[in-house]
Amino acid sequence: MRLPVSNLPLRSAACALAFALALTGAACKKNEGGASGGTGAEMKAGGGTFRFAFVTNNSTDFWNIGEKGLRKAERDFPNVKVSMFRPLKGEVADQQRFLEDIMVQGFEGVAISPINPDAMTGIFERVAAKMPLVTTDSDAPKSPRKVYVGTNNVEAGKTAGETAIAALKAAKIDKGKVALFVGRIDMQNAIERKKGIDETLGKMPGIEILPVFLDHTDRALAKKNVEDALARYPDLVLVMGIWSYNGPCAADAVRTSSRAKKPLLVVFDEEEETLKSVQDGLISATIVQKPFEFGYQSIKALKEIKEGKTVPTFIDTGILVVNKDNVDKFWSELRELKK
């Protein structure tokens, strides 16, 4: 039975109070949980659930595959629950609003594909002060993120450039213009892929890479940009789509073009229309990433950080060149993954 303080000697009461305050302070420090989150594991040992957030950069089909990875992580890690946030228009303001909400809604970690990492430095610092921050698909190397999960985008750009060179040589094309299409060029993955393309295809004699066409993730504009390039440059020999939806938009524009000599296409990712166009031979190749792994490995990394485990700062999920030779096999495997 606890004695009233008035029944204790004054010195003993003061000591008891100080001891209680020290214990309270220690408990508060434990509950704070820094970015490493080691004490979070102690809190969850009794069967509690980690709540993580996953923020995409747009709402394309690419992220439907990523969501399958999130749900697989939930099945594999019963003490994890994930909420997905998808901006409709791919605007920085949307992601900032999501992050503001995430910070006050009881989440304990967040993975994000940053639209403009430099513009989001301030909010990333605030998020990282509260919970582990992981970037995926596109990095924010200047931010206090713990891990980047995704593609080495410079290498992916080099692979795209080398694939384009091989396609041009196979078609016996040694001069002409190349047009690149993407939503934004201030996003890190677009910057790095462009760098890789410049370092390979950009050095091919006789080939001129035009200024990048931007569409701000508007599919109608993405298609119109390709149509405009086809009309404006009669010596356009190659079209390259840098983001997932650019492949279908470019294929549609080239397919319906009245040009007698149509450009080759090399694109990124595995949207249905892209894979159909690879089967048909309209698209020479697509450089596919692994969005399923973006989702799965991001959540696995957040969980391990909260458990105090050491996680590498870069988790490379890899790429694959899909062409007419392997598209059927790849598509079959993709369908199984989506189930």
pLDDT digits 0-9 by tens, 231-262: 999 999 999 999 999 999 999 999 999 999 99
Least confident among 39-53, 90-104, 135-149, 229-243: 39-53
Asked if residue 189 lies in contact with residue 151, where contact means CB atoms within 8 angstroms, the answer is yes
What pLDDT does residue 48 have? Answer: 82
The full DSSP string for 85-140 is E--SS--HHHHHHHHHHHHHTT--EEEE--S-TGGGHHHHHHHHHHS-EEEESS--
What pLDDT does residue 337 have? Answer: 87
Answer whether residue 38 shows pLDDT above 70: no
More confident residue, 45 or 287: 287
What pLDDT does residue 27 have? Answer: 36
Answer whether residue 39 shows pLDDT above 90: no
CA atoms within 13 A on the CB side of 227: 13
Query: In this prediction, what percent of the chain has a pLDDT beyond 70?
Result: 86
What pLDDT does residue 62 have? Answer: 94
Instruction: Quote the tokens at residue 320.
Output: 């694959």
Enumerate residues 6+ apart whose C-beta is below 8 A from 317. 149, 150, 151, 289, 290, 293, 294, 297
Q: What is the mean pLDDT of residues 115-144?
A: 97
Answer whether residue 9 shows pLDDT above 80: no
Asked if residue 124 lies in contact with residue 98, where contact means CB atoms within 8 angstroms, the answer is no
Q: What is the mean pLDDT of residues 45-73?
A: 91
What pLDDT does residue 47 have? Answer: 58
Q: Distance between CA 264 and CA 168 in Å, rounded?
A: 8
What pLDDT does residue 44 have? Answer: 56
What pLDDT does residue 338 have? Answer: 83
Domains of the chain: 39-151+291-313 (3.40.50.2300), 153-288 (3.40.50.2300)
The full DSSP string for 307-325 is TT----SEEE---EEE-TT
What pLDDT does residue 41 have? Answer: 44
More confident residue, 37 or 177: 177
| Dihedral sign, Cα of residue 161, residue 163, residue 164, residue 168 | positive
| Residue pLDDT, tens place only, 194-233 | 999 999 999 999 999 999 999 999 999 999 999 999 999 9
Answer whether residue 149 shows pLDDT above 50: yes
Answer whether residue 129 shows pLDDT above 50: yes
Answer whether residue 20 shows pLDDT above 50: no
Pairing of strands 285-288, 320-322: antiparallel
Query: In this prediction, what percent of the chain has a pLDDT beyond 90?
Result: 83
Enumerate residues 6+ apart whose C-beta is below 8 A from 284. 163, 164, 167, 264, 265, 266, 278, 323
More confident residue, 166 or 20: 166
Enumerate residues 6+ apart whose C-beta is below 8 A from 269. 62, 243, 244, 247, 286, 287, 288, 289, 291
Answer whether residue 18 shows pLDDT above 60: no
Answer whether residue 14 shows pLDDT above 90: no
Q: Distance between CA 252 and CA 248 in Å, rounded?
A: 6
Q: Distance between CA 257 and CA 228 in Å, rounded?
A: 11
Q: How many CB atoms lie under 10 A from the CB of residue 111?
A: 30
What pLDDT does residue 232 have? Answer: 97
Report if pTM > 0.85: no
What pLDDT does residue 89 have? Answer: 82
Q: Across the chain, what does the average pLDDT equal?
A: 89
More confident residue, 33 or 70: 70
